[in-house]
Amino acid sequence: MHNLLENLRRRLLAQRTPEPLPPTSQGLARPSHDVVRGPCDADIPPDARNTMMPEGITVEEALAVAELPQKHALDILATAQAIRSVHKGGPAALCGIVNAKSGRCPEDCAFCAQSSHHATGSPVHALLDAETLLRRAEELRQSGAERYGIVTSGTRLTVRELATLCEAAVRIRRETGIALCGSLGQLTPDAAACLKEAGFSSYHHNLETSRSFFPAICSTHAYDDDIATVRAARAAGLRTCSGGIFGMGETDAQRIELSATLRELDVDSIPVNLLSPIPGTPLQHRPTMPPMRALVSIAIYRLMHPARDILVCGGREATLGPWQSWIFLAGANGMMVGNYLTTTGRDMADDLAMLATLGVRA
Q: Give, for all 362 residues of the chain, the pLDDT tens digit.
A: 899 999 999 999 988 765 554 433 333 332 332 333 333 444 445 554 555 678 899 999 999 999 999 999 999 999 999 999 999 999 999 998 999 999 899 999 999 999 999 999 888 999 999 999 999 999 889 888 889 999 999 999 999 999 999 999 999 999 999 999 999 999 999 999 999 999 999 999 999 999 999 999 999 999 999 999 999 999 999 999 999 999 999 999 999 999 999 999 999 999 999 999 999 999 999 999 999 999 999 999 999 999 999 999 999 999 999 999 999 999 999 999 876 665 667 788 888 899 999 999 86
Q: Which pLDDT score, from 0 to 100, does residue 143 have?
A: 83
Q: Give the separation between CA 238 and CA 233, rounded to whole angstroms.
A: 5
Residues 6+ apart with CB under 8 A from 64: 4
Q: Binding site annotation covers 40?
A: no
The C-alpha atoms of residue 44 and residue 131 are separated, in whole angstroms, by 28
Beta-carbon-side half-sphere exposure of residue 263 (alpha carbons within 13 Å) = 21
Q: Is 166 annotated as a binding residue?
A: no
Phi-psi region of 206 (alpha: psi -120 to 50; beta: other; left: phi over 0): beta
Note the pLDDT of residue 206. Answer: 98
Instruction: Please give the model's pTM, rounded to 2 decimal places.
Output: 0.89
> What's the rounded Cα separation, in Å, for the pair 183 and 50?
22
3-state DSSP assignment of residue 185: strand
Q: Which domains does the chain carry?
A: 93-357 (3.20.20.70)
Q: From residue 90, how far is each of 183, 239, 275, 293, 362 by CA, in Å?
A: 25, 19, 28, 26, 11
Residue from 268, 270, 351, 281 nearest 316 by CA: 351
Determine how β-strand 200-204 pairs with β-strand 239-241.
parallel
Is 218 assigned to a binding site?
no
Name the 3-class secondary structure at 131: helix
